[in-house]
Amino acid sequence: MDASINMSKAKIPILPVTHRVIYPGTALRITLSNLPEFARGKKLTMFGIVTYKNASTKELYDYGTLVGVVSEMPVTSGNNYSANDAIISSFFNTPLSSFPRNEWQITVMGVERFKIKSLRNEGGVYMAKIEVVKDKDSDQNIEELTDKLKKAGAEYASKTGFSRMMTQQRVHRIQEEKDLAYLGFYIAGFLDLSIPEKQMLLENFSLIDRSKKILEHCKVSEDSNEEALSKEVSQKIQEKFYQKSSRNRNPKFMNSGDEEEVQKLQEKIEALEMPDSSKKYVLNELNRVKSMRPINAEYNVIMNYLETVSSLPWNLSSQDNLDLEKAQTQLDIDHSGLEKVKKRIIEYLAVRGLKGDMKGSIICFVGPPGVGKTSLGQSIADSLGRKFHRISLGGVRDEAEIRGHRKTYVGAMPGVFIQGLKKCGTNNPVILLDEIDKVGKDMIRGDTASALLEVLDPSQNHTFTDHYLAVPFDLSNVLFIATANTVSSIPSPLLDRMDTIHLSGYSTYEKLSIAKNFLLPRQINENGLKPEHISVPDEVLNKVITEYTLEAGVRQLERTLGSLCRHVAVKYSKSLKANSEFKTEVIDEPKVDEVLGAPKYDLEIQERVQTPGVALGLAWTPYGGKVMLVETSKSPGTGKLRITGQLGDVMKESVLTALSWIQAHFPALCPNASSSSAEGLEGIDLHIHFPAAAVPKDGPSAGVTITTALVGLLGDVKTRSDTCMTGEISLKGNVMPVGGIKEKVLGAHRTGIKRVLLPFRNQKDTRDIPEYVKKEVQFVFVKKVEEVLREALEESNIFRKMEQIPHL
């Protein structure tokens, strides 16, 4: 190997082995449960391999071989053993069934022989001082001996190889080797000798004498019954493997444990109530297993497949609880408000009781985060008495996650639906498809949303075929419930298969009720307190809701209440340590400011409408309705228009529509300007800005707000600070209806707005708004833009001129 190595009297790690002697110039592949640090990541690092003289007493021979690490790699996990694994396991006297698989495999090459001068166990690793020993008579004429040894070694190798390929490799190596020492050691490596005999060759430092002994061993083997020897060697290696294999496909090699396992699987499969065609396919797979040998790579694949199939609930259903009053009570306990959703669930139960089944009912809850979409699915399962399983689809990009992998692939498994049914143990659970609007699409791994079509299509899901199962499974008994923040990102074919129910954000009153009855008690319990340790009055809860958690849902509200509870938990913990009495901690408003800091939300948005050119609009977002500012400014110029705030194309078109309507009625709106509308606007540069510029905005519903802000700017008129508006405008000055009215009104109510301008044709949409919100918010329904201006702008001379605006 490397003649420059100077290991004389060096100190090296020692790896003890059994049933094997490694020689210089020969390679060995070893699988170790823990790759020693000295061999990890350091190619050609030297260490010693020494054979046990007595494995039971851990006694080592005095001589060993210095080896270099050629390569190392982690071994893939699994139970598919190769013949080489069996041979290696026999070297280390390790049963194949317990042979380590998740570890390291190293390849080493013998370099030099050495003698152990001293040996110590240091932290579980043998460390030895060694002295490298070389042959004494290597200078003699050895060409004739080399030729004889090559011929004898090649003949022996050709008759004893385990396979044709192995024989060819051995003969080729023998013919190519020129160094007599390496040639002899290579042939000695595959001679049928005992460990003591092989060790004696290792410790023989006379090149001539050792080579003659190896030649003699080859001839002795030839003179014996060569055919019997070849058969014996081959059979010996095969038996080592087959006897130590954990499974054998051929029944005549199967042990009792294997036969019992296959028999149990057959009984389970025959007892399954599944379609005849599917059972026939599965039984054919079972028959294939019975005829396989352990070395067949398909054995474990098919066995895992059969175990999966036999554990599925093909005809096992849970009994539905169809008591409508009990279900209504359960829903009321779990959720406050959401009356429309509860009504839809009760309708489902009623139809289920009358019809006997509810195939094809797929519900999709759409609403902002934190309003209880996911927990509603759990409540429905509880009210029905069904098992519940949640599947998160957010960011899933691989189609195989839905439809599974074909069982022939490495690491194959069923899709998430079959896995869910296996986990639930029934074929009619409630499966929640969480965040269905966020499924990914990957050109390489398929379109996940399209893969869901078969699952959610009532006309197809009774024969849903998972790639792993390869046989249809009936999903029509499953109650699928999906959740989404918005339907805009759900593909139309998928959305068409679902019954969409919109959940709006909570009002302040609903949040107060939820905080008192659900959130605060839960946070008290989670923070190690008892109800008598903390008291939070309603007015303080209302302050937390309005000034610290301006959101559609209640997640941030619960986190904020948790902060208050943790503050009390610290005081309670200190009192326990001091053995002092702990009195109920009353959280008042100063205490809230101390714990939570300054309020995060105030009425600043209304205060900003104190100058002309600013108006309050209403916007719908996937996270609930919110109040949106529109700010405008003017300066002398040439009629340029600038729009900022990261707007979409539709909103930019709304700006141009509003500007066109204003230009057509400029003299009446701005009586102090030039009599020519064109001249008046051409001498002005306008800038329209939508604050929160980092947030994308789009949609036509800001049309009336943009018009109001521009008219106020050009006419030097302020907008009422208690009023906000929404609606699309046309070139003729008509106010068109828009969507998301309930969410927008609730957003205005959370902000403290008391007056809302809505399109006249949206009057019907206010029926879904809670009555207590209607009592606090005044609705003004408008048909024309001039009506919006009269209601939104403060008193000014502009109104005396507005009668001049023709009603087109």
* Model pLDDT for residues 50-84, shown as the tens digit of each residue: 998 887 788 889 999 998 877 777 665 444 444 34
Once rounded to an integer, what is the mean pLDDT over residues 186-199? Answer: 88
pLDDT band at 95 (very low <50, low <70, confident <90, very high): very low
Q: Please provide residue 493's backbone torsions phi and psi, each rounded to the nearest 5 degrees.
A: -60, -35
Among 768, 778, 792, which Cα is nearest to 507's? Answer: 768
Chain centre to alpha carbon of residue 681: 56
Number of H helices, E strands in the chain: 31, 27
pLDDT in tens, 379-388: 888 888 889 9
pLDDT in tens, 742-757: 889 988 888 888 899 9
Once rounded to an integer, what is the mean pLDDT over residues 104-115? Answer: 85
Give the integer Cα–Cα distance in Å for 447 and 396.
Answer: 10
Q: At 136, which helix (H) or strand (E)?
A: none
pLDDT at residue 663, rounded to an integer: 85
Question: Which residue intervals of the chain bear CATH 2.30.130.40?
Answer: 11-133
Q: What is the DSSP letter of 75?
A: P
CATH number of 508-596: 1.10.8.60
pLDDT band at 800 (very low <50, low <70, confident <90, very high): very low
339, pLDDT greater than 90: no
Q: Are strands 735-736 and 728-729 parallel, antiparallel or unpaired?
A: antiparallel
Q: What is the DSSP letter of 719?
A: B
Q: Could you tell me if 617 and 630 are in contact, meaning their C-beta atoms sit under 8 angstroms apart?
A: yes
Tell which CATH architecture fits domain 324-502.
3-Layer(aba) Sandwich (3.40)
What is the rounded radius of gyration, in angstroms, for the C-alpha atoms of the chain?
A: 41
What are the structure tokens assigned to 110, written together?
A: 């013998």
Residue 207: CB atoms within 10 A of its CB come to: 20
β strands within 440-537, DSSP E: 441-442, 446-447, 464-465, 472-473, 479-484, 499-502, 534-535
Annotated catalytic residue 379: no
Give this prediction's pTM: 0.60
Torsion of CA 437, 443, 444, 445, to 10 degrees: 20
- Which residue has better confidence, 255 or 719? 719
Residue 676: CB atoms within 10 A of its CB come to: 11
- Which residue has better confidence, 23 or 440? 23
Which fold does the domain 11-133 belong to in CATH? 2.30.130
Question: Which residue intervals of the chain bear CATH 3.30.230.10?
Answer: 604-804
Per-residue exposure over 177-201, b if at least 16 CB sit within 10 Å of its own CB, e if not: beebbbbbbbbbbbbebeeeebbeb
Give me the residue label for tokens 């001498």.
683
pLDDT in tens, 497-527: 888 888 887 878 888 888 988 899 999 999 9
Per-residue exposure over 469-491, b if at least 16 CB sit within 10 Å of its own CB, e if not: bbbbbbbbbbbbbbbbbebeebe
Q: What is the DSSP letter of 670?
A: -
Which fold does the domain 604-804 belong to in CATH? Ribosomal Protein S5; domain 2 (3.30.230)
606's CB contacts (< 8 A; 6+ apart) are 616, 721, 722, 751, 752, 753
Find the catalytic residue in 701, 718, 721, 742. Answer: 701
Give the integer Cα–Cα distance in Å for 338 and 774.
Answer: 17
- Which residue has better confidence, 295 or 329? 329
Annotated catalytic residue 775: no
Q: Could you tell me if 306 and 289 are in contact, meaning their C-beta atoms sit under 8 angstroms apart?
A: yes
Once rounded to an integer, what is the mean pLDDT over residues 112-135? Answer: 86
**180-190 vs 143-160: helix axis angle to the nearest 10?**
20
Name residue 195's amino acid: I
